[in-house]
Amino acid sequence: MKSLDLKCRAKINLSIDVLGKREDNYHLVEMIMQTIDLYDNVNIEEIESGIIIESNNEHVPTDSSNIAYKAADLIKREFSIDKGLKITINKNIPVAAGLAGGSTNAAAVLVGLNKLWGLNLTQEQLMKLGLRLGADVPFCILGGAAIAKGIGEELTRIKDLGNVKILICKPDILVSTKWVYQNLNINKVAKRPNIKNILNNLQENDVQALACNMVNVLESVTENKYTQIKEIKKKMIEHNALGSMMSGSGPTVFGIFNNLDCAQKAKEELQQVYKQTYLVNTYKGGIEIEG
């Protein structure tokens, strides 16, 4: 039977603004996303029939609610393929963390099956399929850095952050994205990101200015309920992070560092309290097919 191994990477948000809400209750956003080199390994193996999901992480669903399962089912239905699949997800990206861990698994399945079954779909076609699964899936296929508008589906590739050290720390709590958006009062947002300034910072390679300009309007909701987020941000700044912010709807916090020693010390201290702490680089690409 044919099989394929893939690496699928997490993302962080360098800014998130929520501009309004559509009639279908989807929120209109404007955000900047950046891929980081924290990845899951996904193996796709062709079997006789059905879709089987296996994972090393007990929090990953192994039934049809898994977005990677939905990606496989979508491809099978769209192209009338009767072969089955076994998908093994070796998780390194924290679950329910604001890092697009599920979305990047789905993106890996779409990219992998395009290769495995010789579908010859373009990246744009894969991204359109991905949007039917979730708003973050197209970006996970694209990779690098992009500005996202609409409900997150209108992507424009931009200059990435460059080779920068990113410290990731996820407290041991689970945050519902739906709950965060439901509790966000758009009219009471005190500070919004200046997207134009951030894009200029990226263009000029001014990481320090960018770190100072980062704003996530969802922080106001999640921080109020989970004080750990503020504590982690404070600890990163104490260790000379250029800036620190919550990614997505949380609860993961990241810090941008230009000094490796400071980043290592921050990692060591935070890891004593929060097991899921990782020091990684930014990443320029999307899904990687191994071998």
Catalytic positions are 11, 136
**Terminal C-alpha separation, the chain:** 16
Q: Is 241 exposed, middle or buried (0-12, 13-18, 19+ CB in 10 A)?
A: buried
Of 138, 144, 134, give the one whose Cα is nearest residue 125.
138
Q: Nearest-CA neighbor of 216 among 245, 251, 178, 187?
A: 245
Report the alpha-carbon distance of residue 87 to residue 103 in Å, rounded. Answer: 15
Q: Which residues contact 2 (CB under 8 A, 6 or more apart)?
A: 45, 46, 116
Q: Which residues contact 189 (CB under 8 A, 6 or more apart)?
A: 18, 217, 220
Give 103's contacts (C-beta < 8 A, 6+ positions apart).
67, 133, 134, 136, 137, 139, 140
